[in-house]
Structure 1
Amino acid sequence: MQEKKKLKVPHVYVLLLSIILVCSALTYIVPAGNYDMMTIETGNGTRDVVDPATYHSVESSPVGLMGFLSSVPRGMNEAAGIIFFIFIVGGSFGVLQDTGAIEAGLGRLTRTFAGKETLLIPVIMIAFAFGGSVIGMAEETLPFIPIMVSLCIALGFDSITGTAIVLMGAGAGFAGAFMNPFTIGVAQGIAELPMFSGLQFRLVVFVVMVAIAIVFVMRYASKIKANPQLSPMYEIDRQREDNLDLDNLHEFGGKEKLILLVFVVSIALLIYGVITYGWYFNEISALFLGMAIIVGLIGKMGLNGFAESLGKGMAAVAAGALIVGFARGILVVLTDGNIIHTILYSAANLLSTLPSAVTAIGMYIFQCLLNFIIPSGSGQAAVSIPLMAPLSDMVGVTRQTAVLAYQLGDGISNIFTPTSGYFMAGLALAKIPWTKWAKWILPAIITWYLAGAVFVVVAQMIQYGPF
C-alpha cells in the first residue's frame, strides 16, 4: 500500500510572498485614496495623524510585476534596523554561548530547581508581563529568548516553552496593558482622554490575559515534561548545538561568574537606557556588541576566535532575520497602491451604520485585522484612533471603549502575525519555524481574542469612561 502524502505546510517565505502577491492584486481592485495628515499634541509630544474629514480619491497606482518583486528588497531596506539588530544580537549571544558561561550558569540553575521546574514559569512570565504592560516591552525581550530556550530544554521542556515564557509573558502584558505609554498613552492622547484613565478596568484585563497565558504554557510544559516526543520541536531541539549536557557541564568558576555579571549589567543598562533615554535598535545593538567584546576578552577567545563566534552566531539567525524584510514587503505594496487609507475609510463607513453594541465589537474586529497590516502599536493608534474616536461619539460608544478595542486588537496578534518584526526576530533567535509556532499558539490566540471581545462588550455595557 502506498503511503498517503502528508500535506506540507508552505515555508514562511512562500506564505509571505503569497500574501504580497494577493495585496498586489488588490491594488487593481480596491480604489486608491488618502487622508490628509495633521499634527496634534498627544501628551507624549506631537504626532502626525490622519484628519478623518479629509478622505479623497487619488489616482490609481496598481502594483505591477516589478513592484511585486521589488517589494521584498525594499522591505529589507526599510526594516534594515530590525534585521541588523537580529544579526548583532545573534552574533553577540554566539560569543556569549561559546565562552561556556551560559551553560555553566544554567547547569547550576537546573540543579537548584530540580524537581520543581514548573515553578519558574509563572514567576518569569509575570515579570515579563509587567514589562510589557508598563514600558511596552517588546524588542527588549529578544536577548532573553536564547537563554530561556537553553534553560527550558535543560529542565526537560522544549524550545517552544522557553520562547513562550518570554513572548507570551510580555505579549499578554502588552495586550492587557494598564499604563503602556506607547499604546494607551498615545491613543488616549489622540482621543483627548485623561492620561491612563480607566486604570482599574484595565488591571482586570491585565490579570485575565496573563492568567490565560500562564495556564496555557504551564499545561503544555507539563505535557512535554512527561513525554518530550510530543513537542513539535522534538527533532530540531535534539539537533541543537547549544543544548546543555547535564552530565558534562562546564565548570562554574570565577571567569564564568564574571562573564554572567557582565551580561546581567548589560541587561540592567538595557532597561535603564530604554526607560531613561528611549534607546532603540541602534543603541541596543551597540550595547550587546560591546558586551560581546568584553565577554570575548574575559573568556580569552582571541581576536580570531571572537570573530568566528560572532559570525557563527549571526549565521544561525540569518534565515529568520530575513523574514522581517519579506513581511515588510506587505506594507510596501499596500502603501505603493494607496489602498491602506481606503480600507480604513470603508471600515469606518461600515461601522457607522451598526447599532452601538455591535459597533463596539466591530471596532475591535477592525483593530484586530488592522494589526496584521500595521503591527506598530503607536503607528496603529496614529492611523485608526482619529477615525474611531469621532465615530464612537456618533454611534454611542465611549471613547474609552474605542481605545480599549484598539489596545486589545493591537496587542493580541503581535506574537502571531508574520508582519510583526520583533516577534519574527524572536523566532529567529529561538530557531523555531513560524509554521510550527503558529499552529501551537493558535488556541491561545483564539482564547485571547474571545476574552478581548467579552471585555469590549462589558466596557460598552457599563459605559466605560470617563467618556
Structure 2
Amino acid sequence: MPDTLIIIFVIGILAAALTYFIPAGSFESQDVTYLVDGAEKTRSVIDPSSFAYATDEAGELVYNKVSFFASGGGIGLMNFPFEGLVSGSKWGSAIGVIMFMLLIGGSFGVVIRTGSIDTGILHLINKTKGSEALFVPVLFALFALGGAVFGMGEEAVAFAIIIAPLMVRLGYDSITTVMVTYVATQIGFASSWMNPFSVAIAQGIAGVPVLSGMTFRMALWAGFTLIGIAFTMMYAARIKRNPTSSLTYESDAHFRAQEDTSGKVKEWTLGDTLVMLTVLATTIWVVYGVVAHAWYIPEIASQFFTMGFIVAIIGTIFRLNGMTLNDAAAAFKEGAELMLAPALLVGCAKGVLLILGGDSSDASVLNTILNSAGGFISGLPDVVAAWLMYVFQSVFNFFVTSGSGQAALTMPLLAPLADIAGVTRQVAVLAFQLGDGFTNIIVPTSASLMATLGVCRIDWGVWIKFCGRFIALLFVLSSVVVVGAHLAGFA
C-alpha cells in the first residue's frame, strides 16, 4: 500500500477534478430549536428548499475550478496541504486538533519518561497472569460506553498512548489497542441512545422527540458492542498464539523495545504512585468536564498539559528514572515530535475537504452533491430509500466527519425527503447515526482516527487492510438494522 500521505494527495487530485465537472450550488440557512433535557437548543441548519446553482452575470453555471496553485488564501492543488493545516479554529479541525495532538503527545511523553508506566505495566502483568484476556472485553465495553454517553472520540488518542505498550507486553499488538480504544468509541457513538453531539442534535433537527427510541438504541448498542468485543477477542487470541502474524509486528518493535530486559521488575515507589494517581485524577476530571460542562478540545488539552506539568515536578522531586527538569522538557518535546506525522495527515485531509468547499457557507461542489443525492433518494421505493439514506450518510461522512456538522447539513434535507419516500423520520435519524459513526473507523479525513493510528505507529494503508472485513460486517448489519427498523415502523 502507498504511504497515507500519498493516498490523501491522490484523493486531493480527484477532488480537484470534480470541481471541473460539478457546478457550485448553495443553500440558505435557517435556525431550528429543539429541547434536550428540558433545555431549549438552537442550531443553524440548511433550508432544503432553498438550493440554487451559482450563476455568473450571463446566467451561466459557475464552476469553482481548483487551479494548480492559488494565491491570496485561496485553495489550489499545491497549497491545499497548507490551507488545511491552518484551517479551522481552536475548537476543531484542523488547527485545534493538531495543537491538541501536540500537547497531549508532549504531556504523555513526560509521563512515560518517569518510567512509572513501564513499571506499572510489568507489575500489572505479573499480578494478572492467566486473566490477561479480560483486558480486551473490559476496555472495549468501557470505551464503547464513553462513545455512547458523551461522544468520546478525540480522548481515545490519550488513552492509546498508555494502552499500546500494555497490549504489546500482553502478547497482542497495536491494532488491538486501536480496536479497544478508538474503534470501541465509534461503536458506541454510532449506536448511542443519548449522544449529545449526534443523535440528540439529529433528532432535534428532524423534529423527532429528543432521546426517543432509547430502548431500541440501547439494545442496538449492546449488540454492536458485543460484536465488536467478539471480533477483537478472536483477533487478539490469534495474535497471542502467533505474534509474527500481526500486520504491525515490525512497527510494534518500538513498544517491545521498552520492555525491561534486566529480568526483574523495578521497585514501585511513592513517586510512581503519585504519577499514576495524577494520570487517573486527570482522566476522571476530563470525563467530568466533558459530561457536566461540555468541555471540548481547548479545555481537554489544557487539563492534560497540567497533568504533564505536575508529573514533571513529581518526577524531578522523586528522581524517577533519574529525571531532572531538563529531562522533562526534553521528554515533552520528544512526545510532541511523535505526533507531527499524524498531525500533518490531519491537516492534509482537511485540505481535501476545503477543495470541495466543505468548510464554507458559499456556493460549493459539496452542496451540489448533497442536493443531488437528496433528490435521487426521494424518488425511490420506501425500503430502498431507507437503505440508501444509510449508504449516503456513510459516504458523506468522508467529507464531513463531525457528527453535529453532518447532522446540520444532511438532516434538514433527509427528514422531509423521508416523509415523501414513506420512511419515518426516526429511521432517517437511525440511518444518519449509523452511517456517521461506523465510517469514522476508516475515513482518512477523521482527525481522531489518524491521531490514534499515529500514536500506535500504524499506517492507514495497513489499517485498511486489517479492518476491511470488520467494516463490511458492520455495513451489512447496519443495513439489516435500518431496513428492519423501517419495516417494523420504528418511530
User: Higher helix proportion, which one?
Assistant: 1
The TM-score with structure 1 as length reference comes to 0.95
Q: Is 1:259 the equivalent of 2:255? A: no
Q: Is 1:49 the equivalent of 2:45? A: yes
Q: Is the 8 A contact 1:76 1:322 kept in 2?
A: yes
Counterpart selection for 1:385 from 391, 401, 411: 411
Q: Is the 8 A contact 1:158 1:237 kept in 2?
A: yes
**AA aligned opposite 1:105:** G
More deviation, 405-414/155-164: 155-164
Percent of aligned positions that are identical: 39
Q: Is 1:414 the equivalent of 2:430? A: no
Equivalences for 1:42-441 in 2 at 5 Å?
A: 42-43=34-35, 45-58=41-54, 59-66=62-69, 67-78=76-87, 79-240=94-255, 243-245=258-260, 247-300=263-316, 301-335=323-357, 338-441=364-467
**AA aligned opposite 2:411:** I
Taking the aligned partners of 2:267 and 2:184, their CA distance within structure 1 comes to: 31
User: Displacement, 1:109?
Assistant: 1.2
Counterpart selection for 1:19 from 11, 21, 24: 11
User: Displacement, 1:91?
Assistant: 0.9
SS at match of 1:143: helix
Taking the aligned partners of 1:12 and 1:319, their CA distance within structure 2 comes to: 10
Taking the aligned partners of 2:176 and 2:290, their CA distance within structure 1 comes to: 27
Superposition misfits of 4+ residues, deviation over 4 angstroms: none
Q: Is the 8 A contact 1:232 1:436 kept in 2?
A: yes
Taking the aligned partners of 1:260 and 1:207, their CA distance within structure 2 comes to: 31
Superimposed CA distance per residue, residues 54-94 of structure 1 (whole angstroms, 9 cap, x where no aligned partner)? 00011322111111122111110121110111111111111
User: Displacement, 1:179?
Assistant: 1.3
Identify the residue that residue 476 of structure 2 maps to in structure 1: 450
Q: Is the 8 A contact 1:97 1:242 kept in 2?
A: no
Superimposed CA distance per residue, residues 411-457 of structure 1 (whole angstroms, 9 cap, x where no aligned partner)? 00112110001111111121211111111111111111111000001
Q: Is 1:32 the equivalent of 2:48? A: no
**AA aligned opposite 1:378:** S
**AA aligned opposite 1:287:** Q
Seen in structure 2, the aligned counterparts of structure 1 residues 241 and 151 have a Cα distance that, compared at 3 Å, is: closer
SS at match of 1:38: strand
Taking the aligned partners of 1:415 and 1:384, their CA distance within structure 2 comes to: 20
User: Displacement, 1:248?
Assistant: 4.1
Taking the aligned partners of 1:354 and 1:120, their CA distance within structure 2 comes to: 46
**AA aligned opposite 1:61:** N
Taking the aligned partners of 1:212 and 1:429, their CA distance within structure 2 comes to: 25
Taking the aligned partners of 1:341 and 1:385, their CA distance within structure 2 comes to: 13
Identify the residue that residue 3 of structure 1 maps to in structure 2: none
Taking the aligned partners of 1:122 and 1:239, their CA distance within structure 2 comes to: 25
SS at match of 1:208: helix
User: Displacement, 1:241?
Assistant: 7.0
Q: Is the 8 A contact 2:342 2:451 kept in 1?
A: yes
Q: Is the 8 A contact 1:212 1:448 kept in 2?
A: no
Taking the aligned partners of 1:119 and 1:305, their CA distance within structure 2 comes to: 36
User: Displacement, 1:242?
Assistant: 6.3
Taking the aligned partners of 2:150 and 2:162, their CA distance within structure 1 comes to: 22
Structure 2: 5+ residue stretches without partners: 55-61, 70-75, 88-93, 317-322
User: Displacement, 1:371?
Assistant: 0.5
Taking the aligned partners of 1:145 and 1:400, their CA distance within structure 2 comes to: 34
**AA aligned opposite 1:342:** T
User: Displacement, 1:409?
Assistant: 0.3
SS at match of 2:171: coil
Counting matched residue pairs gives 457
User: Displacement, 1:249?
Assistant: 3.1
Q: Is 1:10 the equivalent of 2:32? A: no
More deviation, 239-248/148-157: 239-248
Q: Is the 8 A contact 1:23 1:333 kept in 2?
A: yes
SS at match of 2:356: helix
SS at match of 2:30: strand
The TM-score with structure 2 as length reference comes to 0.91
Q: Is the 8 A contact 2:113 2:328 kept in 1?
A: no
RMSD: 1.3
SS at match of 2:45: strand
Taking the aligned partners of 1:26 and 1:208, their CA distance within structure 2 comes to: 39
User: Displacement, 1:250?
Assistant: 3.2
User: Displacement, 1:173?
Assistant: 0.8
Seen in structure 2, the aligned counterparts of structure 1 residues 171 and 244 have a Cα distance that, compared at 3 Å, is: farther
User: Displacement, 1:130?
Assistant: 0.8
SS at match of 1:299: helix
User: Displacement, 1:223?
Assistant: 0.6
Taking the aligned partners of 1:296 and 1:177, their CA distance within structure 2 comes to: 38
Taking the aligned partners of 1:303 and 1:87, their CA distance within structure 2 comes to: 19
Taking the aligned partners of 1:210 and 1:16, their CA distance within structure 2 comes to: 30
SS at match of 2:470: helix
**AA aligned opposite 2:251:** I
Q: Is the 8 A contact 2:168 2:255 kept in 1?
A: no
